[in-house]
Amino acid sequence: MEKIRKIVLVVFGTLTVASIYFALNLQFKFSFEDFFPKDDPDLAFYEAFIEDFETDINFLLVAVKRKEGVFEQKFLEDFDDFSTKALRLPYIKNANSLTQVSYPVKTPFGITSIPAIHIDDPSKYEKDREKILGDDRFKGNLITDDATALVVALKTQDSVLFKKSNTLITALDSLALTYNFEDYHVLGPAYFQKEMVDMQKREVAVSAIVSGILVALVMFWIFRKPWGIFISLVSIGLGLLLFLGTLSVLGRSLNAMAALYPVLMIIVGTSDVVHIMTKYIDELKKGLSKRAAITIAIKEIGMATFLTSTTTAIGFAALLTSKIGPIREFGVNAAIGVMVAYVTVIFFTTACLSFFDKEQLIKLGRGEAFWDKLMTRSYSFTKKYSRQVLAGLILTGMIAFWGISKVTTNYNLSSNLPRGEKITRDFAYFENNFAGFRPFEIAVISKDKQPIESYEHLQSIEKVENRLKKLEGIEGVNSVTSLYKSVHQMMNRNKQSFYVLPEEEKTYNKYKKFVDQVPANTKNILVSQDGKKARITARVKDLGADNVTALGEQLKGWINTNLDTTKLAFHQTGMGVIIDKNATYIRQNLLQGLGIAILIISLLMVLLFRNWRMVIISIIPNVFPLVMAGALLGFLGIELDSGVAIVFAIVFGIAVDDTIHFLSKFKLARDKGLSTEESLLITFRETGKAICLTSVILFFGFLVMLFSIHPPSVTIGLLISLTLVSALLADLLCIPLLIRWLMK
């Protein structure tokens, strides 16, 4: 035994050194494309659509503020210089701002242009201001309604991922700091990616530190001895380190769910450590030798812990049914982590424990008597008040289903942004003062022989544009008609009232020669090269996924009623639509994944207990906390989004652990010839204590996430903590009732 212990410790020492090296090279990532649902028909349409045009997430907006108003010469000169130099930033293809916009004007000598803002002539500022604020192309897009901020609209390369985003935003900040601007705000996917990855790194570090402190306090409360605390903390920390190293070796990266990993690994590791150490100490109390005690602990708790780790891993692996990449990755990574924690505890922790006696590991005293008394009373309560307990469970279930009926998937982007951070303030500024962040794209496809730019088709497109402008929350509408409207305005002394399509086709034909002279790189943003497709672009406020979907359906109904769809097809597309499709799949994937997990775990229970009654006894208490989680979503008004959906997998995976430990101990007692009631009493006294301790640790462990600045992480931590309380109560109250009913 001595030789085996040393080999195990040497192996884990080597793995520790290797894990430190690999963990330091672990990569973080965040990309909007990661949240596109896999194998979705709208995604296939979107991918084909951007081949003809471009993505709708290749923008970066920079709003520069001046409280007294932007029409001041020094400010305008600095802003114009900033706009020019912004074009030289890495990964930027184009830049546009009001100081660089000109109106085309027809004169007797030909076509000329006048600047939208006469920077060098302050006497014209008031007239420029009035004209610009009366132009819907600029107001809310390149200038605020109160003229206190101007925007530089930058176009980035497609698929600017984290490293490029980091380089771009760093260069942008450096450029902005060279000017004496009062303040500036940034909005765009590249900015989101850079800030979200930075947040992930902070969240992982903070959650690991806070969780570690919490677990140290809990272990001090449980063991009160230096060696007991030391072994438990080293085992848990080593499990986390080996997990991170394993992810790096497997080439996996940390995504938007990264903040959950330290908490999850520390909590799962703590649960395994407490169970194995508690059993080892209990056997030592019976007078057994260290060798015999560790053998029994590995045999009994080791097998139960293997089953609990397997079922937890299955619960996480059920997330593979999700169509969302980060959710699938989280499921796989979490499943790997659970098994790494098990291997660490079953080998490293037991090897360390075998060196120590009970007096070296735990301070014996009144605490033991307290737990014996509490568990005995809990057992007696379930026996004496069984009818009341059953009635309470049924009533709670009915109330819970009422709460579930209130669950909504109307989540929005702002609720997923970190609290108190610049990115959140920037997002709110653009939402309140400009057209917003979310793209709203309509693909228009000619179904007859006419090109998309025919007069008839342009009239239909303009009708859709006008309808869009009437829908609440939609702004910044633009399409190929803007080219013809601009020419019409130019030919009529540049009056704003003429920014419409010409009323006669003859006039349209005269204007077309001007539009045909527009550079291809400008025109092909709005019309495909084959002339059969066009796009209507707009921005929609952060109204919530369900509300935006309802707007799309409302527009679709209007188009089908008011336009000839045999000639033109209109199809809503874009990044927003694709990500919002997740709301459609969340419930489906959630039920499908949990169904598969329940089926697999039921089969494991059959193999373990060889009794179909035990399958029913094990499944019912673990469905109860899932129902409670759904009820909390409804009653607390929390939207069910892709991140929150993983709560159910975590709760189910962890809740099953305590059930297996409870039933395994009950089965061992029954196999020794004890009666049902005697077996239940022993189970309460021994395993009941362990699952109460682990539940307390789990409760406070996930509450650590309340320290997060990321609202979804806070929500997940709160939901899991509260739901795991219901899981503990279900085990201690529901399982004895079911055993007495089914195992007579």
Residue 236 and residue 215: Cα distance in Å, rounded?
9
* Six-digit token string for 375: 């568990």
Tally the domains of the chain: 3
Instruction: Annotate 204-219 with b (16+ C-beta within 10 A) or e (fewer).
Output: bebbbebbbebbeebb
Identify the pLDDT of residue 200: 78
Residue 574 shares a structural domain with residue 627 = no
Give the DSSP H/E element, type plus range, for residue 478.
strand 474-478
Residue 289 shares a structural domain with residue 361 = yes
SS3 assignment, position 254: strand
Domain boundary among 579, 604, 636: 579
Find out whether 711 and 703 touch, Cβ atoms under 8 Å.
no
DSSP assignment of 567-604: TEEEEEESHHHHHHHHHHHHHHHHHHHHHHHHHHHHHH
SS3 assignment, position 224: coil
Q: Report the CATH number at residue 148.
A: 3.30.70
Residue 493 shares a structural domain with residue 609 = no
Please name every residue paired with 186 in a beta bridge, in sequence order, or none if there are none: 62
Residue 453 and residue 646: Cα distance in Å, rounded?
47
3-state SS, 278-295, equals: HHHHHHHHCCCCHHHHHH
Residue 82 and residue 91: Cα distance in Å, rounded?
16
Amino acid at residue number 708: S
Helix 260-285 vs helix 189-223: angle between axes, to the nearest 10 degrees?
10
Residue 350 shares a structural domain with residue 221 = yes
Find out whether 486 and 499 touch, Cβ atoms under 8 Å.
yes
Give the DSSP H/E element, type plus range, for residue 533.
strand 533-540
Residue 259 shares a structural domain with residue 169 = no
- Residue 461's nearest CA partner among 477, 481, 434, 447 is 481
Residue 273 shares a structural domain with residue 125 = no
**What is the CB neighbour count within 10 angstroms for residue 553?**
11
Q: Is residue 50 part of a domain?
A: no
Q: Is residue 632 part of a domain?
A: yes
CA atoms within 13 A on the CB side of 308: 31
Q: Is residue 722 part of a domain?
A: yes
Residue 302 φ/ψ region, left for φ over 0, alpha for ψ in the -120 to 50 degree band, beta for the rest: alpha
Domain that holds residue 567: 423-579
DSSP assignment of 81-109: HHHHHHTTSTTEEEEE-GGG-EEEEEETT
Give the DSSP H/E element, type plus range, for residue 536.
strand 533-540
Residue 333 shares a structural domain with residue 427 = no
Domain boundary among 156, 187, 218: 187
Residue 283 shares a structural domain with residue 335 = yes
Residue 713 shares a structural domain with residue 735 = yes
Please name every residue paired with 535 in a beta bridge, in sequence order, or none if there are none: 443
Q: Which residue has the tokens 């959950």?
A: 260
Contacts of 427 (CB under 8 A, 6+ apart): 187, 413, 414, 417, 437, 542
Identify the pLDDT of residue 110: 59
Q: Is residue 541 part of a domain?
A: yes
Domain boundary among 133, 154, 187: 187
- Residue 141's nearest CA partner among 156, 131, 153 is 153
Q: Which residue has the tokens 């020669």?
A: 513
Find out whether 473 and 551 touch, Cβ atoms under 8 Å.
yes
Q: Which residue has the tokens 């799949």?
A: 585
CA atoms within 13 A on the CB side of 411: 26
Which class for 76: exposed (0-12), middle (13-18), buried (19 or more C-beta within 10 A)?
buried
Identify the pLDDT of residue 301: 80
Segments of 66-191 assigned E as strands? 92-96, 102-107, 110-115, 149-156, 183-187
702 alpha carbon, distance to own chain's centre = 17
* Six-digit token string for 707: 């320290």
Identify the pLDDT of residue 461: 92
Find out whether 313 and 337 touch, Cβ atoms under 8 Å.
no
Q: Is residue 542 part of a domain?
A: yes
Q: Is residue 47 part of a domain?
A: no
Find out whether 732 and 688 touch, Cβ atoms under 8 Å.
yes
Segments of 175-288 assigned E as strands? 183-187
SS3 assignment, position 325: helix
Residue 258 shares a structural domain with residue 364 = yes
Q: Is residue 40 part of a domain?
A: no
Find out whether 154 and 61 touch, Cβ atoms under 8 Å.
yes
Contacts of 282 (CB under 8 A, 6+ apart): 686
Residue 587 shares a structural domain with residue 546 = no
Residue 709 and residue 424: Cα distance in Å, rounded?
11
Q: Is residue 137 part of a domain?
A: yes
**What is the CB neighbour count within 10 angstroms for residue 314?**
22
In the chain, which residues have pLDDT < 50? Answer: none
CA angle in degrees (0–180, nearest 5) for 295-299-301 = 110
Residue 591 and residue 597: Cα distance in Å, rounded?
10
Residue 46 and residue 728: Cα distance in Å, rounded?
46
Identify the pLDDT of residue 429: 92
404 alpha carbon, distance to own chain's centre = 21
Residue 540 shares a structural domain with residue 633 = no
Contacts of 383 (CB under 8 A, 6+ apart): 677, 736, 740
Helix 260-285 vs helix 642-671: angle between axes, to the nearest 10 degrees?
10
- Return the sign of the alpha-carbon dihedral for residues 468, 469, 475, 480: positive
Which class for 384: exposed (0-12), middle (13-18), buried (19 or more C-beta within 10 A)?
exposed
Phi, psi at residue 702, to the nearest 5°? Answer: -75, -25
Separation in Å, CA 31 to CA 159, 336, 465: 9, 23, 30
Identify the pLDDT of residue 367: 58
Residue 475 and residue 142: Cα distance in Å, rounded?
12
